[in-house]
Structure 1
Amino acid sequence: MTTLAMAMTPTRAADVCDDETRALLEERFEVRWAGDQLDQAEVARLADGAEIMITSWGTPTLPAELFGDNGPRIVGHAAGSVKRLVPAALVGDRVTVFSAATRIAWSVGEYCLAACLTLHRRLPSYDARTRAGGWKPGGEFRGRELRGRTVSLIGASSTARAFRSLLAPFSVTVLVYDPYLDRERARELDVTPVDLPAAMNADVVSIHVPDLPATKGMITADLLARIPDGSVLINSARAGAVDPVALEREALSGRLRIALDVYDPEPARLSPELLAAPDVLLTPHIAGDSLEGHLALVRYVLDDVIAFLADGSRGPSWVDPQRWSLLA
């Protein structure tokens, strides 16, 4: 029977592995479960003689020597990014990697839709007014519908694609800035490729870029200024993609409705002025964090691992070594 190492603490395993998947693991594999202290020594113990290793948040970085002759040949990451987990030089050669990032993308897409609708309808302002004893503000401000508007996706990542699919019922025009998106793929997604300045001219601008040197500070003060008054800006990707000083200035001006789920540093240290700003939605890096989404993560990669072992097929969680440098 194939040996599979669950390189995550019992607490994390309960978070990302439902009872049905746990039963499947025990039925199909000789499973090694980690203890509460998941350090490098424990990971090495789990890996010795195991063909498969399932990891998640909290798993230490896996050193190259772990993948020797008696080490794992498959890593299934029941979490998001794998770039800091597995040595890049080994991927596709000594180890095949699977990641649940595309499953987490659905949760992020739902967050983006929720933030978009919440801010377009100006629910935070209505909520604050009602709590203060007020009532309908009349002509002072009014929410807007999403239907028929223009939405820009900065990056065509899996989270952007999930958000785009959820936008379908609203008959929106979807623009995408992504230098790696070819026209055939754009047609499949039913989006219009544009350059970055043009992407700012939208009712909703949602950021979906990975953490790369090319994306740091890519949304400058000048680009933020191009976003029309009253538009919604959502960042559930990387805080470093946006000029922080210009972003706070826009938030305090009240010109834009802004949803932030990522910060630099984290946990966030936000100014009192930003905390009090109207129509600013602040969440603690939870866009991809949902109850059902987390419990599905081990099964998501496990199904693809089982298929790969059976016939070499590469399911949606398979990580393409050729695209490693572009991963989040």
Structure 2
Amino acid sequence: MTRLLMALTASRAADVCDPETRSMINSRFDAQWLDDHEQLDQALLRERLAGQDVVLTSWGTPPLPADLLGAGNGGPTVVAHAAGTIKNLVPAESLDKISIFSAAPRIAWSVGEYCLTALLTLLRRLPEYDDWVRHGGWKTDSFRGRELRGLTVGIVGASSTARAFIELLRPFGVEIWVYDPYLSAEQAAQLGVRSVSLEQVVGCSVLSVHVPATPATEGLITADLISRIPDGGIVINSSRAAAVDTAALINETATGRLQAALDVYPSEPPELPESVLGNGNLLLTPHIAGDSVDGHRALVRYVLDDVIDFLEHDRRGPSWVDPAKLSITA
């Protein structure tokens, strides 16, 4: 029976693993779970990794020691990460010794739903209507919401989160423009989107940012590009704060020219100026775009289904991480 180390705390296991999946694990694997009182640190990790075939990790798992990964080191040959990025989890020197699976594509769906929710919320100006009614108002001619149908939505970065958002946008009859230097014409056609330049994509009435944190994306959306977004435009950033001149974007919302939904910030928690508190053109959330009850509880099953398929049939499902693409992924 395949030996599996559940290298996550008991509380995290309850967060990312539903009861049905827990039962499946105990019947399908020789599984080792951490007890409530055990502290997950490097020492415990080193003690438990030896002799395991698979290690399942999540948020809070310490970086995996390179000298214990891979068959040649007597440790796991498969890492199943019930969370997003594996960049700070798996040492670079171990990438060619193990197979890695990540739940990032499952989290991407949660992010896609967030982006659609934020976009519709801002288009219909729901925060303003909520505030209006709370302060005794009723129907008013001073502002009115808009519809999504017929708009052109600009996407920066054809990542997994962008693709989830694109799928959710399809029923609304929008045109979708995508800027991504790695997106081929064939891939754009498969997605049903128009591949455009960075200068073109900021001309859309909606702009959603979906890039990873890399040197190439830092400062990508400059103040000058933000100034070119059409009046009344909406900007959504659920990816990386470093990709956008956040201060310039906030200033544009303060004038009423743009609306924006921000889930990521240059520093977290953010240091927000007093003027932001009364800014009805800003929708602010605390880095929770990929965080939902249902999404979290699905993460362990998502990666383990692919791991089982890999072990039994040598197939690489959607959660498989291609080491060659790590430099351009989140």
The TM-score range, normalised by the shorter chain, is: over 0.9
Q: What corresponds to 2:15 in structure 1?
A: 15
1:281 is aligned to 283
* AA aligned opposite 1:69: N
Tell me the residue number matched to 2:3: 3
Residue 153 of structure 2 aligns to a residue whose secondary structure is strand
Deviant stretches of 4+, over 6 Å:
none
Greater shift, 59-68 or 254-263, is seen at 59-68
TM-score, length of structure 2 as denominator length: 0.97
Paired residues for 1:188-227 under 5 Å: 188-227=190-229
Aligned-partner Cα distance in 1 for 2:93–2:181: 25
CA contact (8 A) 1:98 1:301 kept: yes
**Where does residue 148 of structure 2 map in the other structure?**
146
**What corresponds to 2:241 in structure 1?**
239
- The 1-side partners of 2:140 and 2:17 are apart by 47
Are the counterparts in 2 of residues 217 and 242 from structure 1 also a CA contact under 8 Å?
yes
SS in 2 for 1:135: coil
**1:122-158 Cα distance to aligned partner (Å, 9 max, x none):** 11111111111122221x2211000011000100000
Cα distance in 1 for residues equivalent to 2:137 and 2:250: 27
Q: Which residue of 1 aligns with 2:33?
A: 33
- d(CA) in 1 for partners of 2:63, 2:329: 17
* 2:78 is aligned with 1:74: yes
SS at match of 2:73: coil
8 A Cα contact 1:34 1:46, kept in partner: no
User: How far 1:165 moved relative to its partner?
Assistant: 0.3
Distance 2:12 2:223 in 1: 40
Following superposition, the deviation at residue 264 of structure 1 comes to 1.9
C-alpha separation in 2, matches of 1:311 and 1:283: 42
Match of residue 106 from structure 1: 109
User: CA–CA distance in 1 between the matches of 2:93 and 2:226?
Assistant: 38
- Aligned to 1:76, the other structure's residue is in SS state strand
* Structure 2 residue runs without a partner (length 5+): none
Deviation at 1:244, TM superposition (A): 2.6
State the identity %: 59
Q: Which amino acid aligns with 1:30?
A: D
Q: Which of 116, 123, 126 is residue 126 of structure 2 equivalent to?
A: 123
Shift of 1:63: 2.2
Kept in 2, the 8 Å contact 1:304–1:315? The answer is yes
The worse-fitting range, judged by mean Cα deviation, of 102-111 and 238-247 is 238-247
Worse overlay, 228-237 or 31-40: 31-40
SS for the counterpart of 2:216 is helix
User: Cα offset for 1:266?
Assistant: 1.2
Counterpart contact for 1:233–1:258, Cα < 8 Å: yes
Residues 264-275 of structure 1: matches in 2 within 5 Å? Answer: 264-275=266-277
Q: What does the per-residue CA deviation read over 1:164-184, in whole Å, with 9 as the maximum and x for residues that have no partner?
A: 000011100000000000000
Output the amino acid matched with 1:180.
Answer: Y
- Measured against aligned partners, the alpha-carbon deviations of 1:264-284 in whole angstroms (never above 9, x if no partner) come to 211222122112211211011
Aligned residue type for 2:185: R
SS of equivalent to 1:152 = strand
Q: Which residue of the partner structure matches residue 166 of structure 2?
A: 164
Q: Hey, what does 1:88 align to over in structure 2?
A: 92
State the one-letter code of the partner of 1:94.
K
Deviation for aligned residue 1:224:
0.3
Q: Deviation string for 1:216-264 (max 9, x for gaps)? A: 1110000000111111100000011111321221121121111000112
Aligned to 1:184: 186
CA distance in 1 between partners of 2:52 and 2:268 (Å)? 35
Equivalenced residues, count: 326
